Amino acid sequence: MRLVVDLTRCQGYGQCAFAAPEVFRMPGDEALLYEPNPGEEQREKVLRAAAACPVRAIVLDYQAQPADTRAREAAAGAERIVVVGASLAGLRAADTLRREGFTGSLTLIGEEPYEPYDRIPLSKHVLTGWVPAQHTALPRSDALEAHWLLGQPAVGLDRHTKRVLLADGSQVAFDRLLIATGARARPWPNADEAALDGVHTVRGRDDAAALRQRLAAGPGHVLVIGAGFIGSEVASDCRGLGLPVTVVDRGPAPLAGALGAAVGRVAAELQRDAGVDLRCGVSVHALEGDASGRLRRARLSDGSTLDVDVAVAALGGKRNVEWLAGSGLAAGHWGSPATRGAARSTSTAWSPTTSSWPATWHGFRTRSTTTSSWPWSTGVTPSIRPRSRRTT
């Protein structure tokens, strides 16, 4: 079975941890950890846990709800809807379309060869070894009835003929198009250094599996470049595994850019108390390897040198918009503003924002929201739960 916990709703009551302790955990004062794909032998306990949750934050595989006749009629003008991006936003869009009455052809195109999976556990449960990377699949409706093109990245968009161009040379025709290609990890800027054996990023399932294998081998020293959410989570995981780790960030404190200086100071204290070698106001000038291409050391801006076996570049993300070049859609660092005005003027394409994406097709309204990844684990970052955010 598959499950996901909406961490924007979870209030930490812990009823699920009592009902299904093999699936849900709340270590110490930390936020909830859970197994996204528990075995069938846990189904009864998980169902009890979901029923006991007072805020209904646990989402399971579900049966499709009866369609709204008015929604079906409103969507009748579109016979073929194509979703480019088969991750959380794309899956939520497809599920919503079916739930609200769309009965036409529905195609999801994904660059990765995997079904949609939950990315939040990758930098938490997967890196510590509690959950295998392949056990992070997201729950979905049993009546989705979609055509999946996985492992087939989109490389172009022809808005005039209404076709998505794929890397293998094939094309997919559409009447309506949803752009949900998201972002990828920003790599270490020096390509030769980024190619060294031992340099990692954390964004996708394969990234997490590769880094988990490296951490399980017991490296002598881990370097984390960047003290944002992902960097702080990786540092937390390393300390939980008993590995020495240094975190380097140009800013004044961990998470200061996202949560402010006050929280940053608390995060810095917690990290150092947990044994992290935290160096703020410092950057990495170069990563160096040996003759075999294996990472060996890092040179910092303060003139110091670190002997390291593993380096994790936690430098944020880059929008996946290159495939839209030449399509006539504006696309840049902040993504594609294909929602609202642009979508309604072309009546063909629209895309989600980072928090919620409303769009209207002749009165047929859909919406999905995504949640952020919060590094509340192993005492490295503050045990503060994000407040629920209302979307409109």
Confirm if 305 and 299 have CB atoms less than 8 A apart: yes
Would you say residue 5 has pLDDT above 60? yes
Would you say residue 340 has pLDDT above 80? no
Grade residue 375 by pLDDT with cuts at 50, 70 and 90.
very low
Would you say residue 140 has pLDDT above 80? no
Tell me the three-class secondary structure of the chain, residue by residue.
Answer: CCEEECCCCCCCCCHHHHHCCCCEECCCCCCCEECCCCCHHHHHHHHHHHHHCCCCCEEECCCCCCCCHHHHHHCCCCCEEEEECCCHHHHHHHHHHHHCCCCCEEEEEECCCCCCECCHHHHCHHHHCCCCHHHCECCCCCCCCCEEEECCCEEEEECCCCEEEECCCCEEECCEEEECCCEEECCCCCHHHHCCECEECCCCHHHHHHHHHHHHCCCCCEEEECCCHHHHHHHHHHHHCCCCEEEEECCCCCCHHHHCHHHHHHHHHHHHHCCCEEEECCCEEEEEECCCCEEEEEEECCCCEEECCEEEECCCEEECCHHHCCCCCCCECCECCCCCHHHHHHCCEECCCCCECCEEECCEEECCECCCCCCCCCCCCCCCCCCCCCCC
Q: How far apart are CA 140 and CA 293, in angstroms?
A: 42
Mean pLDDT of 341-365: 38
pLDDT reported for residue 348: 53
The mean-pLDDT minimum among 17-31, 157-171, 218-232 falls in 17-31
pLDDT reported for residue 377: 31
The mean-pLDDT minimum among 275-279, 328-332, 347-351, 382-386 falls in 382-386
Would you say residue 339 has pLDDT above 50? no
Mean pLDDT of 104-120: 94
Q: For all residues of the chain together, what is the average pLDDT?
A: 82
pLDDT tens digits, one per residue of 47-102 = 999 988 988 889 887 554 444 444 454 345 568 999 999 999 999 999 989 888 89
Neighbouring C-beta atoms of residue 51, cutoff 10 Å? 12
pLDDT reported for residue 1: 86
pLDDT reported for residue 354: 36
Grade residue 8 by pLDDT with cuts at 50, 70 and 90.
confident
The mean-pLDDT minimum among 172-176, 218-222, 386-390 falls in 386-390
Mean pLDDT of 200-224: 97
Of residues 63 and 359, which shows the higher confidence score? 63
Burial of 155-178, coded b for 16+ CB within 10 Å and e otherwise, reads ebbeeeebbbbbeeeeebebbbbb
Grade residue 12 by pLDDT with cuts at 50, 70 and 90.
confident
Mean pLDDT of 112-128: 93
pLDDT reported for residue 29: 63
Q: How far apart are CA 139 and CA 2, in angstroms?
A: 5
Grade residue 351 by pLDDT with cuts at 50, 70 and 90.
low
pLDDT tens digits, one per residue of 169-183 = 999 999 999 999 999
Grade residue 372 by pLDDT with cuts at 50, 70 and 90.
very low
Of 358, 374, 377, 354, the residue nearest 366 (C-alpha)? 358
Query: Which pair of structure tokens corresponds to residue 198?
Result: 């031992």
Long-range contact pairs involving 142-147 (C-beta distance under 8 Å, separation at least 24)? 142/61, 142/62, 142/63, 142/64, 143/63, 143/64, 143/98, 144/64, 144/94, 144/95, 144/98, 144/106, 145/98, 145/106, 146/94, 146/106, 146/107, 146/108, 147/105, 147/106, 147/107, 147/108
pLDDT reported for residue 200: 98
The pTM of this model reads: 0.76
Mean pLDDT of 307-335: 86
